[in-house]
Amino acid sequence: MRMKPVQAVFAVTLSMLLALVAPAGLAAQSAASPSPGQAQKPAAAPAGQAPAQLTVRVGTEFTKDRGWFPIKFTPYLQRQLPEPVIENTPTLQQMIHDGKLEMGMEDAIRLAVENNLNIDVYRYLTWSAETQVLSARGGINAAGAPLDPQVTSNLAWSRNNIQVSNPFISGTGVSTISSITTKGATANFGYQQGFLSGTSLQMSFNNSRSSTTSPASIFNPSISTTLGFQVTQPLLRGFGFLPSEELIIEAKNNSQVARYNLETEVMTVIANVETAYWNLAYSLENVHVQQTTVDWANKNLQATQAQLKIGTLAQLDVVTAESTLATDQQNLIVAQTGEQQAETTLLNLISRNQMAAGLENVAIVPTDSLNTPPRIDIIPYRDAVAEAWRDRPDLEAQELSLTNDDISVRATRNALLPQLNLIGSYQSAGLAGNSHVLESTPTGIVANTSSPVVDANGNPVLINGQPAYAGSEAFASQVRRFNAGLLDSWNILWNQNYPSYSFTLSLGLPIHNRTAQAANANALISQREQATNLQILRNSIASAVRNAQIGVQQGVARVQAAVQATKLAQQSLDAEEKKFQLGVATDFDVILYDSQLATAQGNEIQAKAGLLEAVVTLNQALGRTLQVHSISISDAGAGPANPLPLIPGSPTQALSPYSLPIGAR
């Protein structure tokens, strides 16, 4: 006969379930599905306090270069990046008491945001994409000039001793000189920079000093300086900003794609945590149901064995009771195994190191009940799809990839043009040095005895009896040295005494232009492929939204039916027990109805868990997951993330760097 305490257990369990589900869950739902035309509020988290704002930070900024100030050599030093953190945050340890980890859904989500390693991996991928932006900004423009300014210098000194084989060729002019010695020193400086307009600028400032033992040099030593500028501007291929900015724009878009991928991963992790949390809650409830069934089967077996002894039941009834107990024990083992597996799955999502001290045998206890009804509103299908297309980060990432392909098409179309460059150059030169100048001073008239003065008849003209001769002016000669150096050469340079100008049109016309044609065709193909993939993703999102809405609607109906089935199964069992007490029903009949009640209770908790998981799927399909849980994503400078609420009695902990937000778009 059925034991009264068992009836009490079932009665209390049923009353608790009905009290929690029927008033809030069933009363909130109409018997029919919501009208497709109703504009309703978004699906939200289970009823209770609104979740506190939680921010997932992207972290270090890698798109900006490390300037010269305040440390002059910062651009030439390696960045400092912390090693990966593989230990759990202190919050996780604080929440464990007496071997139990009691937490609500929002606590689990916060622990996952702090500790989930997949989020860290996607954060590294975001940083890696940012480095490509920095690299593109320091690359080359369409003309091949570096966008990062480059300064060059060349300092040299030389000494050469040269044997003279031919004085005229060697420039000595004196056959007695057998060798000459030359010395030289140079100090050359250059500057080169490309601009996003395709323009390239080159400047050079060259200085050289040379000396020689050859007497034929005018300046010895000589100082030569030149200052030159050259500007190159593409007029066809490479003209405009797009050819030079292509890689920068695409790198920025790829960086944003990486952020959207990070956001998608956070959404996926949160959805997995929610699913694992409700799966664990279901598993615990299922273990409770199965354990109650085993307890009743044990008591039923004892009662049957007692009745066998007094002869009111046959041996077959005992065998039936033993078989029922064995089956129920098997179901309990399966339920306990499911609980342990669900616990392991959830622990993996909220921890960095499952082997850390205190986690090996920790029991996770969900504090949010399956009986807490979610707020469910199904908006019209078209509105839901439009919302998903607007908010889903994976779709935004795909759209940015298509934008990059459009940019590639435009850039490769420009690369089809011939190469026509306008080149302008200017140069100023200065030359100075030490020189020797021969100076002559008149000293008088000297008679030229070979040129006598004659009269018309050819007779010598006599003056005072002496023949007269033609005279020439006499000079006294001396060599003077003039010294001039680098400043004199610079003075000539700055005064532009010897300028040079030139303008050049350079044309390069590839005959077949095959490489450029192939690049442009490939860009067009990639763009068409990306556009097709974008539509495929939109269709996939639309299907996911429809399936998620169907899942929620079916989940609501399933919960309603399961609650009613449990109620009817309980009534049937109560009626059968009364028949058994009156002797008009067998023990087998009672066992059969009890089995049906256990099945109904299991179906009910499974339906409730399925409904909660369907809401999770709907929020993920619509791109609401972060919004529902008040989670945002921000850059490093967005302020500290909100920490987890402190556990009562625990010390205040410093904010973990892994309580990250995902930058709001």
Q: Are 486 and 207 in contact, with CB atoms under 8 Å apart?
A: yes
- Residue 75 has what DSSP assignment? G
| In the predicted structure, residue 616 carries a pLDDT above the cut 70 | yes
| In the predicted structure, residue 35 carries a pLDDT above the cut 90 | no
Rg, C-alpha atoms of the chain: 47
Average pLDDT, the chain: 81
| In the predicted structure, residue 8 carries a pLDDT above the cut 60 | no
| In the predicted structure, residue 69 carries a pLDDT above the cut 90 | no
Lowest-confidence region among 281-290, 477-486, 646-655: 646-655
**What is the arrangement of strands in the sheet containing 200-212, beginning at the earlier edge strand?**
150-163, 179-194, 200-212, 222-234, 419-433, 499-508
Q: Give pLDDT, residue 272.
A: 96
| In the predicted structure, residue 473 carries a pLDDT above the cut 90 | no
Q: Are 57 and 636 in contact, with CB atoms under 8 Å apart?
A: yes
Lowest-confidence region among 35-49, 58-72, 319-333, 470-484: 35-49
Q: Which domains does the chain have, with CATH numbers?
A: 4-29+98-136+245-371+378-411+517-638 (1.20.1600.10), 150-236+419-447+469-508 (no CATH)
Going by pLDDT thresholds of 50, 70 and 90, the confidence category of residue 648 is: very low
What would the mean pLDDT of 421-428 be, rounded to a whole number?
Answer: 95
Q: Give pLDDT, residue 481.
A: 60
> Is there a cis peptide before residue 221, judged by omega within 30 degrees of 0?
yes
What would the mean pLDDT of 310-327 be, rounded to a whole number?
Answer: 84
DSSP string of 255-316, one letter each residue: HHHHHHHHHHHHHHHHHHHHHHHHHHHHHHHHHHHHHHHHHHHHHHHHHHHHHHHHTSS-HH
Going by pLDDT thresholds of 50, 70 and 90, the confidence category of residue 310 is: confident
Identify which of 549, 556, 538 has the alpha carbon closest to the alpha carbon of residue 379: 549
- Amino acid of residue 212: T
The more confidently predicted of residues 92 and 376 is 92
What would the mean pLDDT of 609-616 be, rounded to a whole number?
Answer: 93
What would the mean pLDDT of 308-326 be, rounded to a whole number?
Answer: 84
Identify which of 43, 197, 594 has the alpha carbon closest to the alpha carbon of residue 585: 594
Alpha helices per DSSP H over 446-513: 486-494
| In the predicted structure, residue 195 carries a pLDDT above the cut 50 | yes
The sign of the torsion formed by the CA atoms of 656, 659, 660, 664 equals negative
Q: Are 363 and 287 in contact, with CB atoms under 8 Å apart?
A: no
| In the predicted structure, residue 248 carries a pLDDT above the cut 70 | yes
Which of 291-305, 404-418, 594-608 is most confident? 404-418
CA distance 12 to 17: 9
The model's pTM is 0.76
Residue 45 Cα to chain centre, angstroms: 29
Q: Give pLDDT, residue 449.
A: 72
| In the predicted structure, residue 275 carries a pLDDT above the cut 60 | yes
Percent of the chain exceeding pLDDT 90 equals 50
Long-range pairs for 535-544: beta carbons < 8 A, 24 or more residues apart = 537/394, 537/395, 537/398, 538/389, 538/395, 541/385, 541/388, 541/389, 541/392, 541/395, 541/621, 542/385, 542/388, 544/388, 544/621
| In the predicted structure, residue 222 carries a pLDDT above the cut 50 | yes
Lowest-confidence region among 15-19, 63-67, 125-129: 15-19
Tokens standing for residue 69: 């100030």
Going by pLDDT thresholds of 50, 70 and 90, the confidence category of residue 625 is: very high
Q: Give pLDDT, residue 26.
A: 30
The more confidently predicted of residues 161 and 34 is 161
Three-class SS state of 449: strand
The more confidently predicted of residues 591 and 512 is 512
Q: Are 112 and 270 in contact, with CB atoms under 8 Å apart?
A: yes
Pairing relationship of beta strands 54-57 and 631-634 according to DSSP bridges: parallel
Q: Are 272 and 349 in contact, with CB atoms under 8 Å apart?
A: yes
Q: Give pLDDT, residue 469.
A: 72
CA distance 295 to 525: 68
Cross-strand bridge partners of residue 202: 192, 230
Pairing relationship of beta strands 469-482 and 499-508 according to DSSP bridges: unpaired
Helix axis angle for 105-115 and 242-310, nearest 10°, is: 130
Helix axis angle for 381-391 and 393-415, nearest 10°, is: 60
| In the predicted structure, residue 171 carries a pLDDT above the cut 70 | no
Chain segment 362-380, per-residue pLDDT in tens: 999 999 988 877 877 789 9
Q: Give pLDDT, residue 296.
A: 82
Going by pLDDT thresholds of 50, 70 and 90, the confidence category of residue 358 is: confident
| In the predicted structure, residue 662 carries a pLDDT above the cut 50 | no
Pairing relationship of beta strands 150-163 and 179-194 according to DSSP bridges: antiparallel
